[in-house]
Structure formats: structure tokens, C-alpha cells
């Protein structure tokens, strides 16, 4: 009974995205919607940025098992990231009229650093795309009976089709439509489940002491883990083309900045709904915590709710994840085309050929993300690793490019290479008792300082 409605949601999403192709006249329209997105659409796009697999599947399952401290990374870190980008970066970056975030590294540090930064940016997105496709695969597996692999492949086909056609216009329009489904669907499900559990107050009263603790214990190691949780998404996603392209599509700098504040507030507020639903499901069906907890929310809705609630809930889920996935595919595709492939052609590409190359890059990113999704299935880990890589390689050079006049290309290169090498070393080969991202971030900052202090002999000297 549920399958026809799922097909209808998929069809509407695909139709809206394909219709957006009529608005694409050139590469600027494709990558930044011609900078014509109004405040309400820009805010919805930023709210929908992370409101997908990590929040609904990953964070809700972590919260149900381990309490509030387990979800500092998301949604709290995600809201912090939006707030900080609006405060520190949106006005400066919008005024530069860049096509991609990689252009900042080229303009400030030169072509070699641009390519290095672009390569790291590409690496941050593969796991993120994979996480969204895994979530869509899990959904389709649950409601249709198809295998996880088949669900991933079908989801890749749909999201790639409308992203290929409409670019940033397709993302912005579908984000707005899908945000409505997200809010309505989750509100109804939360109300239905809380009623079945005796009301909100009863759900909260039955929760064991310490479950909602927001600060860690006094042990220094716990505080380091807590700091790492805030930093992973809160700082690690700041140097992200995904955020930049949504900001860059706004119709003016005031709209861009305000949309970050509204998006942060909406994200934090609405993200409480899947957490509350997971808490209620934890009390109604505690035996399900022993199984695949990433499917906790959809399982309890299928088992407990009438058809119309199921339609709203799964419509919200599909809407949320598709909007996140489409933006995650376009972002690395734009970096690959503008900052890596275009320079190989000597910047002699015509507008028509550049747009064609953009679409081929979208297809390539989707296929790579699909391949990773078929190999790895843990959503929370995939998203976390993607954000950490941005934190330890790209954040310090980005901040320095905008705020430190004496920042040098050598400093930027040492920061990226040193931070990236240190994180891989400490994460996979020489484990430490502290999260690997903390020493790697310190080394990244140290690389920038050291590179800025080393005198560079100019070619004309001597």
C-alpha cells in the first residue's frame, strides 16, 4: 500500500528538478542559480543542507542508544557551522563574486594551491554522497523489499537525473518544496507517537537520569571528546563548496547572511523532532535497540502508524535526503570542473562546453559516491570522516586567506599537507588516546604559521 505513494514522491521530486532545467541558460545559472534565490528559498536550502541521512538516521540512532551527549556533532555542531559561516565568511565571500570556493585559494595563493585545495575538497564529498545514498537505499529496502544495493542504484539514478538537468536551480526549488514535507511529516509523526506513549511529559519523565546531560564528566579525556564533537561538523564543514554554493546563489549579500541565521535556527529546532521520535520509539519498542538502530525511526512508523502518517513520514525522509544528496553531488562536480579540469584546457572552454563538462562531472561524482555506498554502510561514520578531512586540511588556509594579509602559498600548502598527513597517521596507523582530529588540526595551524615565517626567495632576487 505504501509503495505507490513512495513512487509518487519520487516522481514529483524528479519532475520539479527537471522543470528547473528551463531556468538554466549558462554555467552561472547552473552553479549559482544566477544569484537570484530569495531569502525564503535560501534559508530553506541551508536548513536542508544537513537535514538528511545523518540527522534522521545517524543522529537519531546515536541519541536513542547513548543520549544527548552522543549527538553534539549533529545537530548542534551543524547549527554552529551555519551560524559561524554567516558571522565570519558570508559577507566577505559573497562580495568576491567567485564561482567556487576553490577560486578563493587560487586568487589568494596561486594555481598550485588551488589544485591541492580542490583535491582535498573532492575527497571530503565522496563519503558524504555515499551516506545519503545508503540512507535512501535503507528506506527503499524497508518499504519496497528491494535489496540495499538495488535501492542505492535506483536512488543514484533519480538524484543524478534532476541534478544533471537543473543544477543549483533544481536544488533550490526541490529544497524549498521538500522542506515543507519535512516539517509537516515529522511534526505529525512526533505527535502521533507521543500520544501513543502517553504524551510528551510522560516520555520525558520516563527517561533515565543523565540522558539529557549536555556537558561531559569532569575527566579531561571526556572534554577532549566533547570538543572534537563540536569541531567535526561545526568547524569541519565551514570550508565546504556545498555551503558556499547555497550562499552564492542568494540574490544579495544581506539575503545570504540572514539566510544562515534563519537556517541555523530552523535546523536546530526541526532536528529535535527526529530525536524526540527516536526517544519515544526507544520506550515503545526497546527490543529494537538490539538490531539495526539506523532503521529505528522508519520501523516504528511502519509498525505503529496508520497509512497517512506513514506517507507523510516517508515523504519527509525521502525529501530530506534527496535535497541533501543533490547538493552534495553538485558541489564536488563544480570544484572538479572549475578548479581542476578547466585549467587543463587553458581557460579556453566555450560556455557550452564548460556547461557540458559540468554535467559530466556531476555524473562522475554520483557514480563514485554510489560505488562507496555499495562498499560501506555506516552513515554516521561516512559523514563524520568527510567533515574531519575538511577541518584538518582546508579550514586554516581558508580563514587565513580572508583574515591574514601575510598568509603565503607555502603556509597554505604546509597547512593542508601537514594536517591531512597527521590525521591519516593518527586515525589509522598510530592511534592516540585523544581524537586524531585535535592534534591534526593543531599541526595544520602550525604548518600555516611556519610557512608564513619562512622567507621565500623571489625569482627576481639575486
Q: Which residues contact 367 (CB under 8 A, 6 or more apart)?
A: 156
In this prediction the pTM is 0.88
Contact yes or no for 156/133 (Cβ under 8 A): yes
DSSP 415-458: HHHHHHHHHHIIIIIS--SS-THHHHHHHHHHHHHHHHHS----
Q: What is the reported pLDDT for 422?
A: 97
**CA end-to-end span of the chain:** 80
Contact 159, 18 (CB under 8 A): no
* Euclidean distance between CA atoms 201 and 221, whole angstroms: 34
Report the helix count and the strand count for the chain, using DSSP H and E. Answer: 22, 0
What is the DSSP-derived secondary structure letter of residue 350?
Answer: -
Could you tell me the mean pLDDT of each successive run of 10 residues in the chain, 462 residues long? 76 78 83 90 87 76 89 92 97 94 96 95 88 85 85 90 84 80 82 87 91 90 94 94 93 96 94 90 81 74 77 75 84 92 76 87 93 78 79 97 95 97 95 94 98 72 38
Output DSSP code: residue 285.
-
Q: Which residues pair with 37 in a beta bridge?
A: 250
CA distances from 235 to 88, 96, 221, 228, 312 (A): 12, 22, 20, 10, 33
Non-local (6+) Cβ contacts of 216 within 8 A are 69, 222, 223, 225, 226
Q: Which long-range contacts (CB under 8 A, 24 or more apart) does 371-375 make?
A: 372/126, 372/127, 372/129, 372/130, 373/129, 373/130, 373/131, 373/133, 373/134, 373/137, 373/152, 373/156, 374/149, 374/152
Query: Options 2.60.40.1930, 3.40.50.620, 3.40.50.720, 1.20.1730.10; which CATH number does 3-389 get?
Result: 1.20.1730.10
**CA angle at residue 11 from 22 to 278, to 5 degrees?**
120
For residue 269, the model assigns a pLDDT of: 93
The pLDDT score that the predictor gives to residue 460 is 43
Three cell numbers at 346? 587553458
Spell out the domain ranges in the chain: 3-389, 404-456
Is the link from the previous residue into 75 a cis peptide, with omega within 30 of 0? yes
User: Is 69 within 8 Å of 210 (Cβ atoms)?
Assistant: no
**Which stretches of 93-135 are assigned E, i.e. beta strand?**
none
Contacts of 188 (CB under 8 A, 6+ apart): 309, 312, 313
| Per-residue confidence (pLDDT) for residue 461, from 0 to 100 | 39
Amino acid at each position: 500500500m505504501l509503495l505507490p505513494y513512495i513512487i509518487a514522491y519520487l516522481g514529483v521530486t524528479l519532475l520539479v528538478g527537471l522543470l528547473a532545467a528551463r531556468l538554466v541558460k549558462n554555467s552561472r545559472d547552473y552553479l549559482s542559480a544566477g544569484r537570484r534565490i530569495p531569502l525564503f528559498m535560501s534559508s530553506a536550502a541551508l536548513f536542508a543542507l544537513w537535514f538528511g541521512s545523518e540527522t534522521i538516521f545517524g543522529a537519531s540512532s546515536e541519541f536513542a542508544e547513548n543520549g544527548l551527549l552522543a549527538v553534539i556533532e549533529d545537530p548542534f555542531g551543524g547549527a554552529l557551522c551555519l551560524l559561524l559561516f554567516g558571522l565570519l565568511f558570508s559577507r566577505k565571500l559573497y562580495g568576491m563574486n567567485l564561482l567556487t570556493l576553490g577560486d578563493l585559494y587560487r586568487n589568494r595563493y596561486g594555481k598550485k594551491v588551488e589544485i591541492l585545495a580542490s583535491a582535498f575538497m573532492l575527497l571530503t564529498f565522496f563519503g558524504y554522497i555515499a551516506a545519503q545514498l545508503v540512507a535512501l537505499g535503507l528506506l527503499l529496502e524497508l518499504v519496497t523489499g528491494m535489496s540495499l544495493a538495488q535501492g542505492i542504484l535506483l536512488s543514484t539514478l533519480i538524484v543524478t537525473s534532476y541534478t544533471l538537468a537543473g543544477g543549483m536551480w533544481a536544488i533550490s526549488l526541490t529544497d524549498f518544496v521538500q522542506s515543507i514535507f519535512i516539517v509537516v511529516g515529522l511534526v505529525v509523526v512526533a505527535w502521533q507517537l507521543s500520544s501513543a506513549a502517553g504524551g510528551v511529559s510522560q516520555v520525558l519523565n520516563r527517561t533515565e537520569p543523565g540522558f539529557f546531560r549536555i556537558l561531559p564528566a569532569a575527566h579531561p579525556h571526556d572534554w577532549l571528546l566533547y570538543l572534537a564533537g563540536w569541531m567535526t561538523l561545526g568547524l569541519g564543514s565551514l570550508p565546504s563548496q556545498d555551503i558556499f554554493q547555497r550562499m552564492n546563489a542568494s540574490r544579495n549579500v544581506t539575503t545570504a547572511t540572514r539566510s544562515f541565521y534563519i537556517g541555523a535556527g530552523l535546523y536546530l529546532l526541526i532536528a529535535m523532532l527526529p530525536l524526540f521520535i527516536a526517544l519515544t520509539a526507544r520506550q515503545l519498542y526497546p527490543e529494537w535497540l538490539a538490531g539495526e538502530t539506523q532503521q529505528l525511526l522508519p520501523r516504528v512508523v511502519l509498525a505503529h502508524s496508520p497509512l497517512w502518517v506513514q506517507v507523510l513520514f516517508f515523504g519527509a525522509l525521502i525529501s530530506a535526503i534527496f535535497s541533501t544528496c543533490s547538493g552534495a553531488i553538485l558541489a564536488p562536480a563544480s570544484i572538479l570542473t572549475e578548479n581542476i579540469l578547466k585549467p587543463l584546457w587553458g581557460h579556453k572552454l566555450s560556455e557550452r562546453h564548460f556547461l557540458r563538462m559540468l554535467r559530466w562531472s556531476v555524473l562522475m561524482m554520483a557514480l563514485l559516491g554510489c560505488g562507496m555506498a555499495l562498499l560501506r554502510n555506516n552513515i554516521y561514520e561516512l559523514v563524520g570522516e568527510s567533515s574531519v578531512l575538511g577541518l584538518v586540511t582546508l579550514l586554516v588556509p581558508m580563514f587565513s586567506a580572508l583574515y591574514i594579509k601575510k598568509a603565503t602559498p607555502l603556509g597554505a600548502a604546509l597547512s593542508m599537507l601537514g594536517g591531512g598527513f597527521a590525521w591519516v597517521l593518527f586515525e589509522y596507523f598510530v592511534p592516540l588516546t585523544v581524537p586524531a582530529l585535535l592534534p591534526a588540526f593543531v599541526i595544520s595551524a602550525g604548518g600555516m604559521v611556519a610557512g608564513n615565517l619562512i622567507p621565500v626567495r623571489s625569482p627576481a632576487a639575486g
